Structure 1
Amino acid sequence: MKTYKINIAGMERALPLCAINDDLYIGAFIIVGDPSLSEHCARELLKIAPEFDYVLTAETKGIPLVHEMARQRGDAKYIVARKSKKLYMVDPFFVEVQSITTAARQKLYLDQLDVETMKGKKVLIVDDVISTGKSLEALEELAERCGANVVGKMAILAEGEAADRDDILFLEKLPLFNAEGEPIS
């Protein structure tokens, strides 16, 4: 398997290259199960984060990152938009999203308790990788529907054209790759 070596604010990892189609590959960034990477990236993101009350992420890969960010700041809570409606959710808010790493459209849900928690608060949207930005858009829509003030959007990596955006903060750029494993953007 081809890999891409990346330095993330001083920590190196080798990312396996995975096909999106015959001509386009992405570097698979897997933070789940890597606590030292979660701790390192959380610390580095907090250095550049705007002032916020709560962090919001989507299930699943952003969870270890926001958990560690909250732990390092001493926060008692962070908020996770869930990929399925849970039994405890009464009249949840939801939006639909199509992510580059997910085969089908999915919904992201927030419980009413999380909705009330975010109302009128400064919310920072955090993800592991920003590529198309569709997950960020969905999270931003959820936060705004809750009456939250989105103060920033950030990720560990910005993939492809996402690195050219001026509305997100990130630690490193992650290129896209051709079938030979060579960076193309």
Structure 2
Amino acid sequence: MSQETYTLHVAGLTRELPICAINEHLDIAAFIMFSDVELTVACAEELLKRCPEFDVIVTAEAKGIPLAYEMSRQSGKLYIPARKAEKLYMSDPVIVEDESITTSGKQKLVIDHKDLEAMNGKRVLIVDDVISTGGSLHALEALVARSTGTVVARAAVLAEGDAADRTDIVYLEKLPLFLH
């Protein structure tokens, strides 16, 4: 039995995304950039063309990291990943909580205080692979708000469902939700 897929055209590339059940009423097309270097490089290049000037990229662990890394590599700008838990190297962890459509329950995002200092006075670009409910964005914005940095844009490869109607995000393509 073959799995149902959704055909996505983004950044000049085509990918077949598996459709996965979230609950009995909702399915999503799973967009996974991990290990797809061609897709990550192309999407980073296209997003950078659409984003305003920035100094620092902030993203959430884990799916946003390859994209943020590649955008950092192409632009020469610093990127800071917010981690899912405190790490031993963090001398002064700063924690916020959010809820995500693909993660059950609350999820923590943590950065070290020195990363907040790196954002002070800077133009911050928040980056994620997919924006759906906006929970991860909200948590990242809350982290940035602990600094004196200013969020200049929120960017993602895909805007899922109602997120595609938002005017405060930069994205490459819409991704439908599959209601039943």
Common topology (TM > 0.5): yes
Runs of 4+ in 1 over 6 A off after TM superposition: none
Aligned to 2:149: 148
What is the aligned counterpart of 1:39 among 34, 38, 41?
A: 41
Aligned residue for 1:183? none
- Secondary structure at 1:85's aligned position in 2? coil
Partner of 1:4: 6
* Structure 2 runs not aligned, ≥5 long: none
1:23 aligned residue: 25
Q: CA deviation at 1:146?
A: 1.6
Q: What whole-Å deviation, never above 9, does each CA across 1:76-130 have from its counterpart, x for those lacking one?
A: x210000010011122111001100001211100101101100111000000000
In the TM superposition, 1:106-121 aligns within 5 A as 106-121=107-122
- TM-score by structure 2 length? 0.96
Partner of 1:60: 62
Q: How much has 1:74 moved relative to structure 2?
A: 2.3
Paired residues in the alignment total 178
5+ residue gaps, structure 1, are: 180-185
**Residues 81-96 of structure 1 aligned to structure 2 (within 5 Å):** 81-96=82-97
Instruction: Give the superposition deviation at 1:31.
Output: 0.4
Q: Higher strand fraction: Structure 1 or Structure 2?
A: 2
Q: Distance in 2 between matches of 1:67 and 1:31?
A: 12
TM-score, normalising length: structure 1 = 0.94
Give 2:166's aligned residue: 165
Query: Percent of aligned positions with the same letter in both sequences?
Result: 59
Helix, strand or coil for the counterpart of 1:104? Answer: strand
**Aligned-pair RMSD on alpha carbons?**
0.9
Bigger drift between 85-94 and 168-177 goes to 85-94
- 1:53-80 deviation line (CA, Å, top 9, x unaligned): 01000000011101111111123x2100
C-alpha displacement at 1:178, in angstroms? 3.2
C-alpha distance in structure 2 between counterparts of 1:48 and 1:94, whole Å: 30
SS of 1:145's partner is coil
What letter matches 1:124 in structure 2? L
Q: Distance in 1 between matches of 2:48 and 2:117?
A: 25
